[in-house]
Structure 1
Amino acid sequence: MEYIEVEQKFRILGPSAELKERLTALGATPGRPTRQVDTYYNAPHRDFLDNDIVSEWLRVRVEDGAASLNFKRFHPIASPVKTHCDEYESTVTDPEAVRRLLGSLDFAELTVVDKTREEWHVDGIAVAFDTVAGLGDFVEFEFKGDADTVEQATARLEAFIAALAIELGDRIRLGYPHLTLGLG
C-alpha cells in the first residue's frame, strides 16, 4: 500500500500521560518532539476549496532543518467521511525555492499549521501526539504496517486503538488545514 495513508485522529481529553504509559507497556518507543510548520497551497488550475468537501491539499513542511513537499487526495472524494488518502511526498533541499516556485506558478498560500509532534511507534502503528497552535492537542494513529487493502489496514488500526482501552476525545475526521480554515 505504498503511497496510501490510513489514519485516525482524536482530540485529547486531558493529559496524555495515561496513553503514553499504555504505549510504553506495549513496547512503544517514543521519538523526540519536533516542530513542524506546514504551509498549505491552493492550485491555480483547480481550486481545492471549490467543492463543498475539500479532498485535496498541497503542503510544504519544514521540520528541524529538513523539508518536504506533499500532496494528499482523500477518498472517497465527495464523502464527508474519508477512509484513506493517496499521499505523495518527497524531501526538498530548499523549501524557500519551492515556495517561490509555487508562488511564481500562481499557487496561493491558504494557511499555515504550526505544531509540535511527538511520534511513538509500536506494532506497525505510528502514534503522534500533536499540539497545534490555535487548535489544541490531538493524537493521530497511522497504520504503517503491511496490509493488502485499505480495509485490512483500517481493521488493524481500529483493533489497536480498541485494545488500548483508553478513553479518547472526539474523533476528528478533518485535517488540520480544514480546522484552521474553519471548514467542516
Structure 2
Amino acid sequence: MATDENDRYLRPLPVRTAMYEVEVKVPAELDRVRSRLEDGTDAEADDGIGDEDDSTALDATPAGTVVQTDTYYDAPHRTFAETDEALRIRRERHPDADTGSETRVTYKGPLVDDESKTREEAETTIGDGKTFDTILTNLGFEPAATVRKKRERYTVELAETDATESASASSTDFTITLDTVDDVGEYVEVETEVESETELEFARAGAYTVLESLGLDPDDQLRTSYLGLLLDS
C-alpha cells in the first residue's frame, strides 16, 4: 500500500478536547472479515463452510496498517481498575514505510453506557514518549502492562438513515479495525467519535449496522479492553 495512505495516521495530532469514543468490539476470524471488506465475499463461502450470509456489503476504504505499542499506567492517587479509567502512552508506526512513528498520550474515562464500549476520551501527540514516561514515573505513576497489536484500518461513511429510521441527512464516519493482539487474539473493532451524549445513540446503532454488514453479531461484543483481556489471559 502506498505510503501516503498512511501518512495521516502519523501526522502530529492537535491537542484534542474531551470527546466520546463509541466503540464496539467482537472476536472474529480476520481472514473472513478481510475478504468481505475487500471484495464483498466470504473467504469460506467457496468451501461451503458456515451459514449463508445475506448481509449488505460495505463501501469501505482501506486506510493503512499500523503497529501499536500501548503502555498503561497505574495512578498513585486512585486505582484505575476500580474507577474504570485508563492512562496510556501509545507508540504507533507503519510497518512497511519509512514514515517514522508517532507517540500519543490518552486518558479514557469510565464506560458511559451498558450497551457498548463508549468512553469520554482526551488525547494529544507528545514529542518524546520516553521523556513523558520519566515525567509520569517521577510523579508516582507506574507502568502496569503493555499491549502490542497490529491494526488494519478501513473507513466507511454511514448515513443516519442506514442506522435508524430517522429522516435526517446527517452521516458519520466509522473506522473498522482488524486487530491482531499479542497473547490475546483476533478482533474487529468499529468505532467513531462524537462530541456530545445526544449523538451516542445514533453512533452506537451505526456501529452495530457496520458489524452486521461484515457478517458479525453485535451481541458477541466484548466491553473488556485489550488490557483487561491481556491481564485475564
TM-score, structure 2 as length reference: 0.68
SS at match of 2:78: coil
* Identity %, equivalent residues: 30
Q: CA deviation at 1:180?
A: 1.1
- Does the CA-based 8 Å contact 1:12-1:168 persist in structure 2? no
2:41 pairs with 1:18: no
- 1:41 corresponds to which residue? 73
- 1:69 maps to a residue whose letter is V
- 1:89 corresponds to which residue? 123
Give the Cα separation in 1 of the matches to 2:214 and 2:88: 34
SS at match of 1:70: strand
Q: Deviations over 1:136-161 (max 9, x none)?
A: 11110002478842112112222332
Give the Cα separation in 2 of the matches to 1:144 and 1:47: 26
- Does the CA-based 8 Å contact 2:68-2:92 persist in structure 1? yes
What does residue range 81-160 of structure 1 map to in structure 2 within 5 Å? 82-123=116-157, 124-144=173-193, 148-160=198-210
Q: Deviations over 1:4-39 (max 9, x none)?
A: 10010011135233332339x532111221110000
Query: How large is the Cα RMSD of the aligned pairs?
Result: 2.6
Give the Cα separation in 1 of the matches to 2:194 and 2:19: 13
- 2:104 corresponds to which residue? 68
Give the Cα separation in 2 of the matches to 1:130 and 1:74: 23
SS at match of 2:80: coil
**Structure 2: gaps spanning 5 or more residues:** 1-16, 42-56, 94-100, 158-172
Give the Cα separation in 2 of the matches to 1:121 and 1:102: 34
Give the Cα separation in 2 of the matches to 1:87 and 1:154: 16
SS at match of 2:40: helix
- Does the CA-based 8 Å contact 2:30-2:188 persist in structure 1? no
More helix by share: 2
Give the Cα separation in 1 of the matches to 2:125 and 2:180: 23
- 2:78 maps to a residue whose letter is R
TM-score, structure 1 as length reference: 0.84
- 2:84 corresponds to which residue? 55
- 1:13 maps to a residue whose letter is E
- 1:176 maps to a residue whose letter is Y
Give the Cα separation in 2 of the matches to 1:46 and 1:66: 29
State the number of aligned residues.
Answer: 176
- 2:185 maps to a residue whose letter is G
Bigger Rg over Cα = 2
